[in-house]
Amino acid sequence: MSTTTAVGLAPLEPDTAQRAFRAVLDALARPGVVQLLPAEPDVPAALLPVLALADLDTPVCVLADGGDWADAVATATTAPITGLPTARLVAALRTFAADEPAAIRTGSAAAPEDAALVALAVPALDGGTPITLRGPGIAGARTVAPQGLPADLLAARAAATFPAGFDLLLADPGGRVFGIPRSTRIEMEA
């Protein structure tokens, strides 16, 4: 995670935005397969998907310790800044508080498109507790072991019945990212 303040954050260059968008699409289409976000100096990697996807009609929530990241995102994208229950895009640059995962927007069976996309900063995409992913985009099963994936976030995700739920992107400080879309079943390793 970057500790740089967000003052003066400019909109992404079109090429950078397109490469970030492509990385997000590939990450969600191939759950658990690492993609690479474009390098953007002094911008946390977990913020890049939000910067690439946000617009003036997309409510955004930025969870950060310090810095003016929410104001910077609003300025760079014209997106309205809101709380977790109404956000369609979430950039979690810090660890979730205990009550926050349950507040993430999950949509419903009738309107799954109302769910959020959560981009979570993690220390690393490997070396953590193994989880097994199954579902569309995965031949059989895929095991990943991201560090810093909160159990309460997984519990909140499991509480929603597909097609409701939220999509999850995990991004490390080096810009490596992988996705866990709401269609993916997560099994904890025993």
Residue 25: Cβ within 10 Å count = 12
pLDDT higher than 80, residue 163: yes
Q: Tokens standing for 94?
A: 């810090």
Selected residue with higher pLDDT from 176 and 7? 176
pLDDT of 1 = 37
CATH of 14-181, one of 3.40.50.11310, 3.30.70.890, 3.40.140.10, 3.30.1490.20: 3.40.50.11310
Whole-angstrom distance, CA of residue 133 vs CA of residue 135: 7
Q: What is the number of H-type helices and E-type strands within the chain?
A: 4, 9
Q: What percent of the chain has pLDDT over 70?
A: 95
pLDDT at 94: 96
- Please state, in angstroms and as integers, the Cα–Cα distance from residue 36 to each residue in 20, 60, 185, following that order: 8, 23, 23
| 80-110 confidence digits (pLDDT tens) | 999 999 999 999 999 999 899 999 999 999 9
| Average pLDDT score over residue span 19-37 | 98
Tell me the mean pLDDT in the region 133-144. Answer: 96
The DSSP line for 144-158 is E--TT--HHHHHHHH
Q: Which band of pLDDT confidence, cut at 50, 70 and 90, is reported for residue 4?
A: very low
Q: What is the mean pLDDT of residues 147-170?
A: 93
150: which 2 tokens? 């909160």
pLDDT at 12 over 80: yes
Contact predicate 148/128, CB 8 Å: yes
What pLDDT score does 10 carry? 87
For the chain, the average pLDDT equals 92
pTM of the model: 0.93
Q: pLDDT per residue over 32-88, tens digit each?
A: 999 999 999 889 999 999 999 999 999 999 999 977 999 999 999 999 999 999 999
